Amino acid sequence: METLVKLFKNNIRQYGMIIALVVIIIFFQLITGGLLLEPINITNLILQNSYILVLAIGMVLVIITGHIDLSVGSVAAFVGAVAGIMMVDMHLHPVVAVIASLIVGALIGAWQGFWVAYVKIPAFIVTLAGMLLFRGLTMIVLKGQSISPFPAGFQKISSGFIPDLGSGNVVAIAAGVICTVIFVINELRDRQSKKKYNFDVLPGGLFILKLVIIAAVIMAFAFMLASYAGLPNILILLLALILIYSFIMNKTVMGRHIYAIGGNEKAAGLSGVKTKKVTFWVFVNMGVMAAISGLIFAARLNAATPRAGTNFELDAIAASFIGGASATGGIGTVFGAIIGGLVMGILNNGMSLIGLGIDWQQGIKGLVLLAAVAFDIYNKKKSSVS
């Protein structure tokens, strides 16, 4: 028990947000009389939050480098509008239109990255300008009107499910099993190498407990999806992005350089990190992620509208901070941002289920953001004293 308490205290930052998520889930599960974790609602949760989660992945990278991007909502709307014009008005093939849209996103990211990295204008200002600029451009290209409908193939991005082989959605369950196995093997190998180098590891019993809990959560999740409509396409995309970006941030030179710049830009520069170039590419990446988000949203709505993406940036930023990213840079994880995004998403969903108005929802989300960051800072202070 003592080791458990100590362990918890040392890792409270890491576990804090997960515990918060679990508490929120349990709370809404009870208060909605079990509606929250109904299979249909779980599937809805994924579909509803996918575009914010995609933005959060890009945003946490920007925040780790010590910057911010306020323009992503407007950029998402603009790219959605451009995609709408290409597919609905110009009848381009969806694949061509999607690729072109991603390039538009990259170019917008490059535009903002140029001002931030090379001209050294604070990102807050550059992206505030971008927020206005791209919202304006969205309205101009759409002439203030919505465009619809999108081709059916394109809509499938957001509303489609992986086709099933037999009855009972075997695919979803099989995917769950594969994920569990990969996860367990990965954890075991990591533990082995950590032990070899004398690093701190969880005590054996707790380690097994952790594996069992996580495996159970994955499998339960898979069964839930299977019992409704199976694996949503968007979930596959989301998981792929999470894995790819976690890999980049943890295992590649690029990722290490991003953390180094946020941790101490001057020291990184004097250690041979090309700080301007890396910052520039982080913004290009953010542009692409905003484009993906915009496409997902347009496909889900089956329309490109001038008001799309409003306040997306705030949700993405909040997700990153709730997930433990530091406002001064250098700290944060893709996984954390996803957890933060889920906290926001479940709050939204749960409050809607119990019939709270949008006014109360906004206020409560604001308080949650403040509380999460205050908790984080409190912990940091406490750990620096000891």
Partner 1 sequence: MSEYILEMRNITKAFPGVKALDNVNLKIREGEIHSLCGENGAGKSTLMKVLSGVYPHGSYEGDILFKGKTCEFKNIKQSEELGIVIIHQELALIPYLSIAENIFLGNERSRKGLMNWNETIAGSRELLEKVGLNEHPNTPVGNLGVGKQQLVEIAKALSKKVKLLILDEPTAALNEDDSENLLQLMLEFKKQGISCILISHKLNEVSKVSDSITILRDGKTIETLDMKSGEVNEDRIIRGMVGRDLTNRYPERTPNIGDVILEIKDWTVYDEVRADRKVLDNVNLHIRRGEIVGIAGLMGAGRTELAMSVFGKSYGRNVSGTLYKDGKPIENNTVTQAINNGFAYVTEDRKHYGLILIDDIKRNISLTGLSKLAKKGVINDKQEILVAEDMRKKLKIKAPNILQKTGNLSGGNQQKVVLSKWIFSEPDVLILDEPTRGIDVGAKYEIYTIINQLADEGKGVLVISSELPEILGICDRIYVMNAGRITGEVSREEASQETLMRYMTKTGGPKHGNVS
Closest distance of CB 9 from partner 1, Å: 17
| 327 lies in the site for partner 1, by CB under 8 A | no
193 interacts with partner 1 by CB under 8 A: yes
How far CA 65 is from CA of 69, 118, 195, 373, in Å, comes to: 11, 14, 32, 18
Of residues 151 and 263, the one with the C-beta less far from partner 1: 263
CB-nearer residue toward partner 1: 216 or 267: 267
- The count of chain residues that interact with partner 1, using the rule CB under 8 A, is 26
Collapse the DSSP code of 136 into the 3-class scheme (helix H, G, I; strand E, B; otherwise coil) and give the result.
helix
d(CA 131, CA 133) in angstroms, rounded, equals 6
From 236, 222, 232, 238, select the one nearest 161 (Cα to Cα): 232
User: Which one-letter DSSP state was computed for residue 151?
Assistant: P
Touching partner 1, residues 229-288 (CB under 8 A): 251-254, 256-257, 259-260, 263-264, 266-274
Judge contact between 124 and 68, C-beta under 8 A: yes
151 and 87 Cβ atoms separated by less than 8 Å: yes
Beta carbon of residue 311, minimum distance to partner 1 (angstroms, whole number): 31
Task: Decide: helix, strand or coil at residue 21.
Answer: helix
Cα 237 to the chain's mean position, in Å?
12
User: If binding is defined by CB under 8 A, does position 107 make contact with partner 1?
Assistant: no
Q: Concatenate the DSSP letters of all residues of 277-297 into one string.
A: HHHHHHHHHHHHHHHHHHHHH
Q: Which residue lies nearer to partner 1 by CB, 67 or 257?
A: 257
Residues 6+ apart with CB under 8 A from 252: none
Binding mask 355-374 for partner 1 (x = CB under 8 A): --------------------
What residues numbered 132-191 form the site for partner 1, per CB under 8 A? Answer: none
Rounded Cα distance between 204 and 345, Å, is 34
CB of 6 to partner 1, least distance (A): 15
Binding residue (CB under 8 A) for partner 1 from 167, 199, 204, 355? 199
Nearer to partner 1, 167 or 198 (CB): 198
Within 329-358, which residues bind partner 1 (CB under 8 A)? 330-331
Smallest distance from partner 1 to CB 121, Å: 19
Nearest to 72 by CA among 86, 51, 87: 51
Cα–Cα distance between 208 and 213 in angstroms, integer? 9
Q: Which CB, 120 or 143, lies closer to partner 1?
A: 120
Comparing CB distances to partner 1, the nearer of 133 and 268 is 268
Interface residues with partner 1 (CB under 8 A) are: 193, 197-200, 251-254, 256-257, 259-260, 263-264, 266-274, 330-331
